[in-house]
Structure 1
């Protein structure tokens, strides 16, 4: 038994994605998906005989089952009492057919944007995204709403505008939601975040004696962490995806939006107010270096040799921890011909200096 999800790519209008799941519903790891690709394009797979062709099963009453589980995992009474006012941009995607009926029962004053299915608009260009973000921010501010959510076309990830109309960068959003979650659920023992997450998350958890589990920078790695450790109560990604294991072991934009409403209601704190009280503790500087796929292995070996004297974390790529205030992540992109260089420090100048230093080194190693 296994599963497959076919969708239009949220990143490229000309592509469709095939996402394979194992028998437990988790994303297949990268090694297995690459093996499937090699077998398919090489036509090295076995042909099933007529009597052994498999079947496709479509679960009955899936929407009703989803909605029941959704409501059971949300404190609906707290949201009703808060009388929140929320703007939601559905991005012409799947959530427009599901979320309105759910949120309608939460006593929330909602204004909806782009709340109808349109496959031709499922994938947004950068210009279209920023224009939509600006419209959502304008709606939130002009109507005095508490928060604005933009769901991506597949209803997996969210973008958030606070009550002041500020569109929150994903790393900042992760920090704020982590803080709110631990305030509302102080019994939490562990959370999980990818290796790319800011050290601010570690600081927040250290202050509350909560263990941080670091994972690889992919949805499948986040899912694997949740299913492997039942003590993990919350998983936050750096691309707008959140996992709440009591509901589902995968990212879900609709549930994430509802859960954030619950956190706001129970903490009596709006996102913009919290952001003002919590100035950013670190500066994050990012840069990408072009690197052909066939040279990534060589570059990784050079990085390992160059950083041998430093403390390193090798969960995904190479993360060098210089001290409690500075770190550097060198991460080869899984799909594109680039290397990511992410430096984080209490001072912007040190982060920028590290990025420039390793940008120069990577270019030299690639050119050798």
Structure 2
């Protein structure tokens, strides 16, 4: 035991354990046959056996280290984390609280307590998301399904996605699942194939939006929706235990390539709109495909709707889609809409889910304006329509819908929950303030191609121009702030805000939404980061900002 060590009462330092200088061992910690270098902090209740800990490491309460684990210099290991035997954590890495580490952390910067984020599994290509990670994730997903189930796979144009999708297919086959590979496809087309084929789920591999160095593995259920939290937990549990189903040689899954998937998708979308009405209107549209896979799907759709299309970036190309400058593309498209006297323009995201609209005057709609315009058109066209919206969307949407005889159904902010609500049969339209919209009569998931087709159908039905709808919209005043919040204090923040808001009505669908005479404020903890979000809406920007700052200040007081 070195100089200036502090070992609290109740701690147990066993035989063959070595402690360097300035090591702190808190109460109830147990160290057996382990080596801790200088300046290590060992938290309360930590368990380690046959472990080597580098200098200046910070090991928080109740972390556990199995035989043969090695933790490098200046690493951080959070509370209740588990580092399994033989794992090596290289210097300057962080392991989040409650994380279970089964493999060495060499290139990655951290080990997360949760594998899934809001858009599936995401990380740097070939660093965080390696072929080994892709195989294990696919095997865990295949294990969660029945033996012999069919899983649909797809990818975007990138080489990283192409390589990792092959690893995903291998993992599914080795777990006894058959694969239906649609190869290069948009996310909506993949969902459609899952929903209308024999698949029990799907996985798509793509570059992450706005980050060409990162990839995403996105998982779908049998209805083509994002898998829910219980399915995510099941996959994470199988991964942490490495409890995969390993098929015998004769039971390894097969790979098939379904024919005519785009043709079936096009035919279904054509049936979801008034084909004759659209053909008679003869819309002229300017489209920017953002060099994504939508350029493979949309031309056949628009051709059957008798639309005249001016296409920009019409070829699927990873370098071009990765270098997309949204503002530059929108400005260029706006000029083309005006110059060609087109009815509207649209920028399609590379994955085919999000859309940015430009009206016939060349005005680039904000995502909120696009949502409100679609709410108005749906409510005017469909009697007693039900419209699903996340709780963070402006209340103006509810007022506009109610004035036109429609009803708003409020949902959680998560994509999975919005898709679940949209799929229940009563909802005519669902959307977000992020440019993603759902048309449940066609597909209960985000689809930019369906949004464009449905928008043209609604404009044909009402005989209106998009600019006339946008010009009639009221102004919206919403402010968004974030407050850094430790993970362990998030529950306390929510609880105390509910207790203090006795004088106002509350909406507790997702987070705490306080309804006040001068507006509303929504406080919602971030599911992936140590943050709490605050949204506030009022009659003016300054009032909304004051309301958001008031609740941000309350959060800081609670966690202080």
Q: Same fold (TM over 0.5)?
A: yes
Q: Does 1:310 align with 2:504?
A: yes
Change beyond 3 A, Cα 1:209–1:107: closer
Q: How far apart in 2 are the matches of 1:17 and 1:156?
A: 14
Q: How far apart in 2 are the matches of 1:319 and 1:97?
A: 42
Q: What is the SS of the residue equivalent to 1:13?
A: strand
Q: Does 1:212 align with 2:413?
A: no
Name which of 262, 275, 278 aligns with 1:63.
262
Name which of 452, 476, 482 aligns with 1:257.
452
- Identify the structure with bigger relative contact order (alpha carbons < 8 Å, sequence gap 6+): 1
Name which of 419, 428, 442 aligns with 1:247.
442
In 2, are the aligned partners of 1:8 and 1:122 still within 8 Å (CA)? Answer: no
Q: CA deviation at 1:124?
A: 5.2
Q: CA deviation at 1:122?
A: 3.2
Q: Does 1:363 align with 2:560?
A: no
Stretch of structure 1 that moved more, 43-52 or 12-21: 43-52
Q: How far apart in 2 are the matches of 1:304 and 1:208?
A: 34
Partner of 2:519: 326
Partner of 2:131: none
- Equivalences for residues 1-368 of structure 1 within 5 A: 1-37=200-236, 39-40=238-239, 42-50=240-248, 51-55=250-254, 58-123=257-322, 128-185=325-382, 187-228=383-424, 230-280=425-475, 282-323=476-517, 326-366=519-559, 368=560
Q: What is the SS of the residue equivalent to 1:27?
A: coil
Structure with the largest fraction of strand = 2
Q: CA deviation at 1:31?
A: 4.2
Q: What is the SS of the residue equivalent to 1:286?
A: strand
**Which sections of structure 2, spanning at least 5 residues, go unmatched?**
1-199
Change beyond 3 A, Cα 1:296–1:119: farther
**Which sections of structure 1, spanning at least 5 residues, go unmatched?**
none
- Count residues with an aligned counterpart: 360
In 2, are the aligned partners of 1:146 and 1:270 still within 8 Å (CA)? Answer: yes
In 2, are the aligned partners of 1:10 and 1:124 still within 8 Å (CA)? Answer: no
Larger radius of gyration: 2
Q: What is the SS of the residue equivalent to 1:265?
A: helix
Change beyond 3 A, Cα 1:32–1:304: farther
Q: How far apart in 2 are the matches of 1:58 and 1:340?
A: 44
Q: CA deviation at 1:294?
A: 4.3
TM-score by length of 1: 0.90
Q: How far apart in 1 are the matches of 2:318 and 2:528?
A: 24
Change beyond 3 A, Cα 1:58–1:314: farther
Q: How far apart in 1 are the matches of 2:254 and 2:417?
A: 29
In 2, are the aligned partners of 1:188 and 1:233 still within 8 Å (CA)? Answer: no
Q: CA deviation at 1:175?
A: 0.8
Change beyond 3 A, Cα 1:261–1:347: same
In 2, are the aligned partners of 1:82 and 1:265 still within 8 Å (CA)? Answer: yes
Q: CA deviation at 1:57?
A: 5.3
